[in-house]
Structure 1
């Protein structure tokens, strides 16, 4: 009877690959992933602020993903046990990444959108419980029929939130802040790296989805999800704070640079804001850095000089 398995190439690869080309590719991708994660962990430790939950979660996300990058060193049966065991913290890291993405982008979302975002992340957790079992059973020779069916759903249960977050950030940069992308990259190279990492992560996500279908026949040796993971984590590390706060700071900096170069009407508006007159904003510090308005405040507050004859 013909097999009904849509992904038959998985059915006989429940043991460690032995082909030199396959081992080389797997070893390279694991080394790349572990090295990148360790470097990003060090960068996060240096830049994180004490007491900030988001920064702690980013550090935890990185550490949880590291152990899965060493299973090539083991031989069966330890190989299957180690691979499957470290898949548990890896999956936790993937889920945590979606939580971090929610925390970073919720400033751009209304209440209903925020609840829908995080609620849908929670709703897919039963799939991950099933995937943990399927992974363990497959790579330890217990059940080799379930994993070929559950593995193709990893991407759809892991990445839609990140793709939405990427698209939402690009939209807000262009529409809400009216930044041109080249202008933003010139003003903040860090944001340029972030946007580039986001784009690369989406590219590798698509390749990972194709790699578990007949479109790209790689079998269980799949470097694409590791590359996607590295670039997703890089976006968390390069800017530790949420996207809205970071863009607000950059927007204020741009406003502070443009305003003094404008015509005298803008100068008068600045004076009014400092004085708190009319409907102007009472606390100009909320818009501009204090250092940029010190000369104006000095002119206003300095009493007039009286010269005696």
Structure 2
């Protein structure tokens, strides 16, 4: 696990920069395929050293899948539905988590388990023909032909015709210009973004260190993510010891994540900051209970303290 995380940590900032420069599609597909091949290699590794090398490579690929895949979602899903994406991702994550347990119960060999869970992802090579480039990236980099193809493909699959007049009417008047083609009309309506994008291309990570509000946000987010990863992975790796039956403990540790997906509905009524704060406080309270009152009779300890 440490080798996997190391590969992910090292290459995440590199892949994110490549995605901005060369596009989301290729920098998502290549890490995805690398991860699939590396995971199959883990199942067939003849030695522990080769297994660790494959795990490191899988971590490198997963960095691209997680980071760039998240960006593709945000740039593809309409803003009105964007807040629902965590709900879908949580359900998919828990489903995969539980699938591992089912495969473990059916097969004893870890190699067979690893291969069964990895081999089906060889089908992702078909994504080469199925996954389009991000429209946001195409517009930002003035890819006229790519934007036109994207629009035509979208109207075909969704069976809806895009009304460019409506698109222009919802845009600032200073951005509205007449273009020759569908792609050019959208590109020219985004003229202000071009200059800001060129300026952004000269920025780097060190610029955050000179901007105190950004530095504060980054530090806060890093602290939260570090603490959450400490607790999550510690509990995940310890899940088989949480119950007398190790598989019951494993499944329960995955299923308890489902209620968290319901928090997405609270965002519409309470707000991001309030939901985040309450969730973090609830997590801290629950972890203190687990640490100071372990075992089956922790409720008795809580009641005695309250008295």
* Shorter-chain TM-score range: under 0.3
Task: Considering Cα pairs closer than 8 Å and 6+ residues apart, tell me whether 1 or 2 has the greater RCO.
Answer: 1
**Which structure: greater helix fraction?**
2
Normalised TM-score (structure 1): 0.28
